[in-house]
Amino acid sequence: MQPRTVTKTSARVLLMIEIDGLTKRYGQHTVVDNLSFSCSAGEVLGFLGPNGAGKSTTMKMITGFVTPNSGTASVCGHSIGEDALAARQHLGYLPEGAPCYPEMTPKSFLDFIADVRGLSGERRKARLDEVTEQLHLGPVLDQSIETLSKGFKRRVGLAQAILHDPAVLILDEPTDGLDPNQKHEVRELIRSMSADKLIVISTHILEEVEAVCSRAIIIASGRILADDTPAQLAAASRYHNAVRLTLGDDANFDEIRSALGRLGSVKETESNREQLSITAIAQPGGRAVGPWREIAERVAASNWNVASLQLEGGRLDEVFRQITKGKEA
């Protein structure tokens, strides 16, 4: 009996979010449909889906803001339905659009959050200093939030979510409205925090998933359509292992194109004459490296004017479209 209990507890500690059969209906419309998944510390879970797929609603149900019609969600072993307060102690949440109190300053706002989170003494000061530093809020601490740029507002929202150093972070579109540099910084921040936390982000920016996520769940119409690592998802793309050639001139464009098309490892070619590019798509189920070696040898043996040769890992956006379009209707 004893060892079994131990296993159970350790499994609980590991599984930071457990979702079972979560369903939400608004009238006749089912927004989230019998969703189940679980995830553990160290993961950065990307929640992908077209607008209206149920991403935000799912997040609202995990944080207990929206009550599901059926199903359960628990955070660090605490059911959000039965013990919401304990679950929320372990949870940091950035709601969609990063709502704040516009008349407050970031300083007074974070002080308020620290009060509510029960931070005091040394730890309170250390945490406030740390998040101010991490999100570069120093220069605007005493300015009212309504006068801040969108980027700063978002960062105030993030600061609020991570202030108590929660085990589980739920961020609804954390980089929305940020410029490329700020996006990069937020992604760095997410990566740096991910080792001992579970971070769930929703986004429709696919490069973000490739940049920070260790796991991606694609949902549409409230159902999970794919659940895998970003690399594995991209591997389902027809561009996986494809080779892209760029030519120096279009002298023998057609000749090269048809020569590539005849190679055994190439399924078909796509070309763009204006950009002088030809993409050779790999035969499905071919060798792991695809047509790369064959094309490289062919290019070396020829006198073609090839400017560059690129191996593609697969296009996540294409997979995303394929998955969500195919099953949404």
Partner 1 sequence: MSIVAALFRRELRSYFATPVAYVFIVIFLILMGTFTFYLGGFYERGQADLSAFFNYHPWLYLFLVPAIAMRLWAEERKTGSVELLMTLPITPWQAVLGKYLAAWAFTGIALILTFPIWVTVNYLGDPDNGAILAAYVGSFLMAGGFLAIGACLSATTRNQVIAFVLTVVVCFGFLLAGFPLVLDLFSAWAPQTIVDGVASLSFLTHFANISKGVIDFRDLVYFALLIAVFLFANTIILQWKQAD
CB of 170 vs partner 1, minimal distance in Å: 9
Q: What CA–CA distances, in Å, run from 13 to 39, 117, 251?
A: 11, 22, 64
Residue ranges in 240-259 that form contacts with partner 1 under rule CB under 8 A: none
Task: Considering only the stretches 44-52, 89-97, 196-204, 222-230, report the one whose residues sit in contact with partner 1 under the rule CB under 8 A.
Answer: 89-97
Q: What is the largest CA-CA distance in the chain?
A: 77
Q: By C-beta, is 100 or 206 nearer to partner 1?
A: 100
| Token pair in block for residue 310 | 């690129």
CB of 281 vs partner 1, minimal distance in Å: 45
Residue of 304, 301, 303 lying closest to 253 (CA atoms):
304
Cα separation, 37 vs 68, in Å, equals: 15
Residue ranges in 257-296 that form contacts with partner 1 under rule CB under 8 A: none
CB of 224 vs partner 1, minimal distance in Å: 23
The site string for partner 1 over 7-26 (x = CB under 8 A, - otherwise) reads: -------------------x
Cα separation, 154 vs 138, in Å, equals: 15
Task: Considering only the stretches 36-44, 113-121, 195-203, 295-303, report the one whose residues sit in contact with partner 1 under the rule CB under 8 A.
Answer: 113-121
Cα separation, 280 vs 140, in Å, equals: 52
The site string for partner 1 over 138-167 (x = CB under 8 A, - otherwise) reads: ------x---------------x-------
Task: Considering only the stretches 8-16, 35-43, 88-96, 127-135, report the one whose residues sit in contact with partner 1 under the rule CB under 8 A.
Answer: 88-96
CB of 318 vs partner 1, minimal distance in Å: 34
Which one of 3, 8, 51, 85 is in contact with partner 1 (CB under 8 A)?
85
Task: Considering only the stretches 9-17, 110-118, 233-241, 316-324, report the one whose residues sit in contact with partner 1 under the rule CB under 8 A.
Answer: 110-118
| Token pair in block for residue 8 | 């159970």
- Helix (H/G/I), strand (E/B), else coil: 16: strand
CA torsion 323-230-47-84 (nearest 10°) is 140
The site string for partner 1 over 28-47 (x = CB under 8 A, - otherwise) reads: --------------------
Concatenate the DSSP letters of all residues of 115-128 into one string.
HHTT--HHHHHHHH
CB of 105 vs partner 1, minimal distance in Å: 8
Could you say whether residue 64 binds partner 1 (CB under 8 A)? yes
Cα separation, 282 vs 317, in Å, equals: 18
Q: Are 137 and 106 in contact (CB under 8 A)?
A: yes
Interstrand relation of 44-48 and 70-75 (parallel, antiparallel or unpaired): unpaired
Cα separation, 167 vs 270, in Å, equals: 47
Could you say whether residue 104 binds partner 1 (CB under 8 A)? yes
Q: How far is CA 147 from the centre of its chain?
A: 29
Q: By C-beta, is 119 or 266 nearer to partner 1?
A: 119
Residue of 194, 200, 167 lying closest to 87 (CA atoms):
167
Which one of 46, 71, 95, 151 is in contact with partner 1 (CB under 8 A)?
95
- Site size for partner 1 (CB under 8 A): 30
Residue ranges in 114-143 that form contacts with partner 1 under rule CB under 8 A: 115-118
Give me the residues that bind partner 1 (CB under 8 A), please. 26, 60, 63-67, 85, 88-89, 91, 93, 95-97, 99-104, 108, 112-113, 115-118, 144, 160
